[in-house]
Structure 1
Amino acid sequence: MQKWKRLLIAAALALVVLTSILAASGIPLINLLVDYWWFSSLDYEGYFWLRLLYRYILSGSVTLFFFLVFFLNFWVASRFLGAEEISLASLPEKETRRTKHLLHLLQAGSIRIYAPLSLILAVTIALPFYTHWEQALLFIFGPEAGVADPVYQEDVSFYLFRLPIFDLIQVELQNAFILLTLGITLLYWIEHHLVPAKQRTWPPGAKMHISALAIASALALAWGFILDRHDLLYVDFHEPVFFGPGFVEHMFRDPLLWLSAITVVAGTLLGIFYAYTGKRGWLVLFSGVFFLISILLEHSSYVPGLMDRFIVKPNPVKAEQAYMEDNIIATQDAYYLQDIKTVDITPGFGVDLIDAHTSEHLDNIPVWDTDFLDDVYQEMQGIRPYYNFTDIDVARYTINGKIEQVNLSTREINLEKLPEEAQNWENRHLRYTHGFGAVVTPSTQNADEPMKWLLRDINMQSSMGFNVENPDIYYGTERLDYAIVPNRLNIVDIAGNDQSVNAGRTGIPISSLFRKLIISGYFRDEKLFFSVNIDQNSHVLMRRNIVERVKTLTPFLALDKDPYPVITPQRIYWIQDAYTLSEEYPVSKISRFTFAGDSQPSEFNYIRNSVKVVIDAFDGSVSYYINNPSDPVIQGYSSAFPGLFKDMALMPQPLKDQLRYPEDLFNIRMRIYAKYHQKDPSLFYQQAETWDFSKDSEKKPVQPYYLTTHIQDTLDDENFMLIAPMTPIGRSNLSALAIGGNIRFDSNTSPLTSQIVIYKFNRETQVDGPSQISALIDQDSEISKLFSLWDQKGSHVIRGRIITLPIGRSVLYVQPIYLVSTAHTKIPELARVILSMGNVVVMDTSLEKTYDKLEAQLKKITAATPQTAAITGKSGTVPSAPPSLP
């Protein structure tokens, strides 16, 4: 080999090692460059520079401000050091050279000493702004919310956007001015003791300078006390009864904060007056005593304890009524609960209460529980060992002219399932690069028939309309490593490896040796650099997990834990629900929840589902659509990052048709509403009607489930909704059914407006909950006998979730029964379907047959016992007649 070639290879290897060391040591240059290429590949180059510039412009501006504050004060101080008629030459000969040099530096060393000192102090003071720059963005761009807080009547935007930054600025200004006051005083003191004794009178300019700094420090402290009044709106002393300030905070702590603010300013001014005149010293002492008293009382629990013991505790509702009302109003606004509609129902019983639409919508009742369907998909449609169905989702599609609820899952690549001998670099990054296609089955199946498939197998052809032009899945929910496509490998027998198609995919082009070097250094992977199967047309695909992808692009958005796929004729897309959060909404109850991609729970008391994110599973492109334009937080981000967010009207219709009410949002809101639906303070205090999610027979909460059906008195023929049964805390009987979805009761409501409707049952009538129905099923002798027989024949009986549906003025319960073989291969099989209404329990192999049995049983009971129950509707509730499902 020629010498120059050896040198070239050695140099390249050295560069790879060097870049790997730089990347590993945290030097951000390589990361910055790769991030820029990645953002550019997604057409977010402008957004990348905006984020970078905002961070350093905002943080740098704060640093510059504090640098000027420190430097100018030090410079002014240096001008006043020493009386003008005194020069260094007038010092006696016995003064040492060090003393002369020190005085010279203090008087004339502004650039050499004060500039670096000011810079160090400024960076130290401004350091918190480097991590809170996104809050500073909302401080600048956040609009008015148009809603006043219930205590001080400030617009809530003050708390969401201004108060956090004001708190930060106040603390930093207070620290800066106190530090300056002490530092400048120390400089004057040093100079004062170094000059000749006869010149020890402080110059007027020095006194004025110190006085101004003392006043500035006092004003900063007073501002802090005033801001602390707003922090009272976030106290949790009264939990678990209510959140926010109460009688003691309003009547005791709030006035004390005013007293502290007034006395600190008054005491400082009087102290300066006394320093100049020597008069009114008693006023300084008087102000200081009052200031100390206010501080001691503010941090004391004795007086508040007495007030709580003798005023609040004997009359809790009367004393705290207004403050509980504030908490209820604020919490309902913050979680958008004030528009929840309530339908009051007095339950009845009998066949005449079954809605006419019930039999028409039986084929959309999801008898296949997604928890068990995962094993079915994996065993029957995994096809290749490296494919995996990560999650089973629920959706609705128009099939043969009718909206039908389906279960579906994408066939993603999972490299950990490759044989150990195939776990090499080339396979992981160049050959097995993507998943392929999806499977779709109806939510309703019959136990006496084989599994129905609407889409299956690798060919991705379906007579039901599920034909996809590009079904390759390069981006999904698996933890995917980086991939390089197209490449020079001759790949065979792997679905969807048309290199001509892959060449147009978004990704970072590896179009030069320099890019190849930088990217290999970024991944700390020398094999990438030396691979001969990568050419100038290759692209590196990275951040292929869709949650990681969206979090990297927009870290200020919280993400729902259940992104779901949408199948279109062109390709497969992912829809990711994204939330804007704040923990600064005044007087609103704090929640804790762990969102997708987070390792720790987030604390917040304000949430909006403001963004729908669409990710192309084929090319990885990411689009953001504003779902809630009235949200001031997303308005602020939209103004700060123009072009990042799109109007919802621009979303393609096939994707818009699949939008749904997010499950995480539904859970969060219903947890809060379970307590905060009690608007009357006396009821709220008693917690007599607090709800909880229903429990199953194993005392586990019943998870909300999606259902496609028609609701009476709504404008839409079919609604895709989340349903959750609610029970009283500590009880098993049903209190209400919570339903979330795009439900329109009138033509003024947008088809895409998500809301919650509560079907609330009269407390005077017992309605069985899921665990009670489960016990009723256990008591049925015929069903128990059959279950025992199955358990003895090489199979195991598994009971699926109980689905709770309102039917007219009654409730219908549906529970699927599965059989799982005790052999090695465990594929659940739907065996029976149970329906229950009232005390009637029936079981058969299909919903139709079981429904016919139920109807026959109810007719017999109705003939023997005529119905007398009636429906009631309270003022302000929705229906003139009872809405019903299905």
Structure 2
Amino acid sequence: MQRGSRFSLGLFILLTVFVFSLVNWGTGLYVDWLWFSALHYPQVFITKLLSEIGLRAAIGFFMFLFLMVNLLLTRKSVLQAIKSAKPFRPVFPDDDVITINQPSYDSWREQITPGRLTAIFAVISLVLGFLYSATVTGQWTTVLKFVQQTAFGVADPIFNKDIGFYIFSLPFYELIYRLLASAIFINILLVALVYLVTDTARGGLTKIFRFPAARYHLSALAALFFILKSWGYWLNRFGLLYSTGGVVHGAGYTDIHATLLAYQVLSVISLITALVIIANIFLNKFRLTAYAIGGLLLASVVLGGLYPAVIQKFVVLPNEFNREAPYIANNIKLTQQAYQLDTIEQRDFPAGRTLQPKDIQENRNTVENIRLWDWQPLQQTYSQLQEMRLYYEFKSIDIDRYEIGGRYRQVMLAVREMNQEQLPQQAKTWINQRLKYTHGYGIAMSPVNEVSGEGLPQFFLKDIPPVPATDIKVTRPEIYYGESDDGYVIVNTKTEEFDYPKGDGNAYSKYEGSGGVRVNSFLRKLLFAINFADYKLLLTGDITNDSQVLFYRNIKERVPKIAPFLSYDSDPYPVINQKGEIIWLWDAYTVSDRYPYSEPFDNRGNNYIRNSVKVTVNAYNGEVNFYIADTRDPILQTYSKIFPSMFKSLAQMPADLRDHIRYPEDLFLVQCRMYTLYHMTDPQVFYNREDKWTLPTEKVGTEEKPMEPYYTITVLPGEQKPEYILIMPFNPQNKKNMIAWLAARSDGENYGKMVVYEFPKQELVYGPMQIEARIDQDTTISQQLTLWDQRGSSVLRGNLLIIPIKDSLLYVEPLYLQSEQSKMPELRRVIVAHGEKIVMEPTLELALQRIFGEGAALPTPIKQGAPPQTGQTGQEQPAPQATIKELAVEANRLYEEAQTKLKNGDWAGYGQSLNALKEVLNKLQDQTNP
């Protein structure tokens, strides 16, 4: 193949790739426009698109002009070098070759005219400008936040600038600095290369400063760089407020008294260096430039490195606390502000108080809502009992509260989603995956504390179609949008959509929502086929003008697609509204890594967080709404200015959804971790870590794990009504007892308020691991656990919950049994500890009665062991046969234990076993009596 043909083929391939890339980009852009429009967020799409394209265009055009001007300044030198270049003649070693009509090998110089050279420079500048513009991809939010910034109304303690300067302005200035510095550096390299090549063409010795044009040009660029560097040193001063070199995060004594001075001096020296370089253009003394640059480097080493090190070692370390005390106070104050720890109300909580039987009766609502089911074992049990078919899946178990039968109840619930990966292999056809198996179906719900006789959850909602046992009903059970990753589907086609299994056949349905994009033309059909890289979509004859494509159906992809500038909680949860629709509620956060002096909470350096937005997604039609949960957050106020039609006030959220908003667990955990240290407000105490707290651990299964925050319904001390709260206990450093517990409130006007209850430091209050140790040391409980583990079953210890009741604490831990052949854990025992007593019983009610006596019996028993009876909530239900069997097994074990102790001569142990056996037999008699 000839050289020209190869070149043409390569050019054709390059153009083909370019055209296909352009088509794919344009197709994706248009499909996204259709999707945003269908969701009624076209303004968000336009703002993001125009901002991104506009920023890239502006930076690319600037770089193009900058490069073009500098290259044009070299044009004269290039043309002169071409004219003065030595003639070029090829050497033919073979004298026998006769060349006819040999061309002039110097004719190339005649082809390079000023106009053509300008065109070459323009192409080079255009390509480099386009490539350079890619460096600002994703930076449109930085620019828009700078333009629309909102003041925080709080000033930093060093430079007295509003916090908004650090959140919005400083990142923008740093972006401009980086862009200008890199642009100047690229121009210096390119211009130096041009002069080097032209100098070589002249036959020079590659000394680019030998010619005045090169010397003037490069000197001007160097002077411009050092002027910019002076501004960079000035900006670096503000970065000291994020310093990590002191005893706390933020500027310390050395930063303020040494490094800050260094930046100020270096800023001036950098300006002087620029002036020296400019003067050298006329003085023609290159050594002055070298001395100036060398002086700047030496000053940066001495002032920026050695001087701060000397100050730190000889001034700060000998008297560290006194030097750092004001800066520690700054760190404490601003960290508390960044995490809203300064809003936590502090209250005292007595230690050693003992509950009375009447206290249990008076706090019936609290006791009835003690969570006995943990999400891990419950998810396995839900999967076994309620998934129904292989292609259904419960992605997660969530917790919420509802008003049920006039009572405030805490419930566990899970959405039954479609998982196409679980379809049989022969059923994984394109028709099935895209047109037929389009959605999940229904929801399962159970109370947190009710258990059947078999140790399984009682259901408020179950089966397909959903069967309610309460006044909660689901009228729209289809799940088109959730946490599943099944990709796009097409609805309202000629193929019937599978709805749910029904008897020996299936029920089918037709989508009645508007959550997709219509495929009402061949062009759209073609565009979707290109966008999804799915040619079958183009060939199918099942699509009609009424068909809709539903895509971005995973809510963890759908919502961030609209608002990528927000951060999101790890756990969206479903809510059943009064219409019977399933709505996903998801907490969104505004975060920043630019809050002065604030300690970061993650490895990305983020040190500010607010739960500013509540997001709702309709599981049927995919409608997404953003509601403002924190109107005081300046970052969200700025986003509201950028996207004026995007956010709604929380008052616009339907009341039945507002009743289900809750304090988010992720935010609470961040605040708890920070509060372990930042509850100390005295700099001396903080410096010595005298009162540092730690987050507790607990025994889950057979492992010791960090304790997780947990929701519960209780009446806080000093309050009158039960409310939904999130709790986390605290331990003192290096100890296992409990020193305090923090509660975040979720209901009504108290939403978002936090209260910490502190125990007297001189009295012992059992911490979670101390209770776990007492469980392990209790001979009756430990023997029973060992017995179960030896009979083909494994014992799973659930989460230990510490429940505040009045001015005392109740410790509750469920126990689950799981056989080796089954993956369905059963709740078989409940351990309760209070004061010095610890008991294990088949039900929570029996455990409470054993600790507090018969007077602790509730007016309406907790129905553990009996299914709920509609209209029969006030009647006692008979104990299940399984509980009687368990008591019989326990009696037999105690009898054998007593006989063993008798043989060994352990008369005291023999008496204890007989007493325990008598107690079990009494319970057995009570259970069997009609």
- Normalising TM by the smaller chain, what interval? 0.7 to 0.9
**Per-residue deviation, 1:268:** 2.6
What residue identity is the alignment partner of 1:445? E
State the secondary structure of the residue aligned to 2:713.
Answer: strand
The equivalent position to 1:119 in structure 2, one of 126, 133, 147, is: 126
State the secondary structure of the residue aligned to 1:388.
Answer: strand
**Structure-1 separation of matches of 2:61 and 2:448:** 62
**Structure-1 separation of matches of 2:779 and 2:85:** 115
Are 1:798 and 2:807 an aligned pair? no
1:7 counterpart residue number: none
1:413 counterpart residue number: 418
What residue identity is the alignment partner of 2:334? A
**Structure-1 separation of matches of 2:498 and 2:293:** 85
Q: TM-score, normalized by length of structure 1? A: 0.83
**Structure-1 separation of matches of 2:113 and 2:325:** 62
**Structure-2 separation of matches of 1:39 and 1:273:** 58
1:380-399 pair list within 5 angstroms:
380-399=385-404
Over 3 Å counting, the alpha-carbon distance change for 1:277 and 1:487 in structure 2 is: closer
State the secondary structure of the residue aligned to 1:536.
Answer: coil
What residue identity is the alignment partner of 2:836? N
Are 1:255 and 2:261 an aligned pair? yes
2:136 counterpart residue number: 129
State the secondary structure of the residue aligned to 2:274.
Answer: helix
1:62-461 pair list within 5 angstroms:
62-72=59-69, 111-177=118-184, 215-238=223-246, 241-273=247-279, 275-276=281-282, 290-298=295-303, 300=305, 302-351=306-355, 357-446=362-451, 451-461=457-467
**Per-residue deviation, 1:628:** 1.6
State the secondary structure of the residue aligned to 2:341.
Answer: coil
Over 3 Å counting, the alpha-carbon distance change for 1:26 and 1:467 in structure 2 is: same
Are 1:478 and 2:484 an aligned pair? yes
**Per-residue deviation, 1:104:** 12
Are 1:504 and 2:513 an aligned pair? yes
Deviations 1:820-854 (A, max 9, x none): 233x2343222222221222113333333322332
The number of residues matched between the two structures is 811
The equivalent position to 2:647 in structure 1, one of 628, 645, 665, is: 645
Are 1:709 and 2:706 an aligned pair? no
**Per-residue deviation, 1:604:** 1.2
**Per-residue deviation, 1:673:** 1.6
Deviations 1:1-20 (A, max 9, x none): xxxxxxxxxxxxxxxxx999
Contact map agreement 1:368 1:443 (CA 8 A) in 2: yes
Over 3 Å counting, the alpha-carbon distance change for 1:858 and 1:758 in structure 2 is: farther
Over 3 Å counting, the alpha-carbon distance change for 1:29 and 1:272 in structure 2 is: closer
What residue identity is the alignment partner of 1:591? F
Over 3 Å counting, the alpha-carbon distance change for 1:19 and 1:38 in structure 2 is: farther
1:676 counterpart residue number: 678
The equivalent position to 1:555 in structure 2, one of 557, 564, 569, is: 564
Structure 1: gaps of 5 or more residues: 1-17, 196-200, 594-601, 744-749, 860-886
**Per-residue deviation, 1:708:** 1.6
Contact map agreement 1:23 1:30 (CA 8 A) in 2: no
Contact map agreement 1:800 1:817 (CA 8 A) in 2: yes
**Per-residue deviation, 1:276:** 3.9
What residue identity is the alignment partner of 2:772? S
Contact map agreement 2:716 2:806 (CA 8 A) in 1: no
**Structure-2 separation of matches of 1:781 and 1:305:** 60
What residue identity is the alignment partner of 1:422? A
1:596 counterpart residue number: none
**Per-residue deviation, 1:344:** 2.5
Task: Determine which structure has more spread, i.e. the larger CA radius of gyration.
Answer: 2
**Structure-2 separation of matches of 1:103 and 1:259:** 54
Over 3 Å counting, the alpha-carbon distance change for 1:190 and 1:618 in structure 2 is: closer
What residue identity is the alignment partner of 1:439? A
**Structure-2 separation of matches of 1:588 and 1:627:** 23
Per mean C-alpha deviation after superposition, the further-off stretch among 668-677 and 64-73 is 64-73
1:531 counterpart residue number: 540
**Structure-2 separation of matches of 1:437 and 1:205:** 78
Over 3 Å counting, the alpha-carbon distance change for 1:94 and 1:502 in structure 2 is: closer
**Structure-2 separation of matches of 1:351 and 1:70:** 80
**Structure-2 separation of matches of 1:825 and 1:579:** 41
**Structure-2 separation of matches of 1:191 and 1:815:** 83
Contact map agreement 2:259 2:304 (CA 8 A) in 1: no
Are 1:733 and 2:742 an aligned pair? no
Contact map agreement 1:348 1:809 (CA 8 A) in 2: no
**Structure-2 separation of matches of 1:858 and 1:528:** 69
State the secondary structure of the residue aligned to 1:764.
Answer: coil
Over 3 Å counting, the alpha-carbon distance change for 1:462 and 1:500 in structure 2 is: closer
What residue identity is the alignment partner of 1:321? A
What residue identity is the alignment partner of 1:237? G
Over 3 Å counting, the alpha-carbon distance change for 1:128 and 1:768 in structure 2 is: same
Contact map agreement 1:559 1:577 (CA 8 A) in 2: yes
Over 3 Å counting, the alpha-carbon distance change for 1:278 and 1:503 in structure 2 is: closer
1:485-884 pair list within 5 angstroms:
485-490=491-496, 494=500, 501-568=510-577, 569-592=579-602, 602-697=604-699, 698-714=703-719, 717-742=721-746, 751=749, 753-822=751-820, 824-856=821-853
**Structure-2 separation of matches of 1:664 and 1:194:** 66
**Structure-1 separation of matches of 2:569 and 2:234:** 38
**Structure-2 separation of matches of 1:533 and 1:282:** 80
Over 3 Å counting, the alpha-carbon distance change for 1:460 and 1:255 in structure 2 is: same
What residue identity is the alignment partner of 1:576? W
**Per-residue deviation, 1:126:** 3.9
Contact map agreement 1:482 1:541 (CA 8 A) in 2: yes
State the secondary structure of the residue aligned to 1:315.
Answer: helix
Contact map agreement 1:447 1:846 (CA 8 A) in 2: no
Per mean C-alpha deviation after superposition, the further-off stretch among 780-789 and 573-582 is 780-789
**Per-residue deviation, 1:777:** 1.9
**Per-residue deviation, 1:352:** 5.8
State the secondary structure of the residue aligned to 1:658.
Answer: coil
**Per-residue deviation, 1:561:** 0.9
State the secondary structure of the residue aligned to 1:573.
Answer: strand
**Structure-1 separation of matches of 2:837 and 2:529:** 68
**Per-residue deviation, 1:518:** 2.2
Contact map agreement 2:365 2:713 (CA 8 A) in 1: no
Q: TM-score, normalized by length of structure 2? A: 0.79
**Per-residue deviation, 1:688:** 2.4
Per mean C-alpha deviation after superposition, the further-off stretch among 309-318 and 788-797 is 788-797
> Percent identity among equivalent residues?
34
**Structure-2 separation of matches of 1:775 and 1:495:** 49
Are 1:468 and 2:468 an aligned pair? no
Over 3 Å counting, the alpha-carbon distance change for 1:775 and 1:112 in structure 2 is: same
Contact map agreement 1:559 1:578 (CA 8 A) in 2: yes
Structure 2: gaps of 5 or more residues: 1-14, 89-103, 203-208, 857-930
**Structure-2 separation of matches of 1:619 and 1:550:** 14
Deviations 1:771-825 (A, max 9, x none): 1111112222333343344445554332211101233443211111222233x23
Contact map agreement 1:20 1:524 (CA 8 A) in 2: no
Per mean C-alpha deviation after superposition, the further-off stretch among 693-702 and 172-181 is 172-181
**Per-residue deviation, 1:728:** 2.4
**Structure-2 separation of matches of 1:796 and 1:567:** 35
State the secondary structure of the residue aligned to 1:406.
Answer: strand
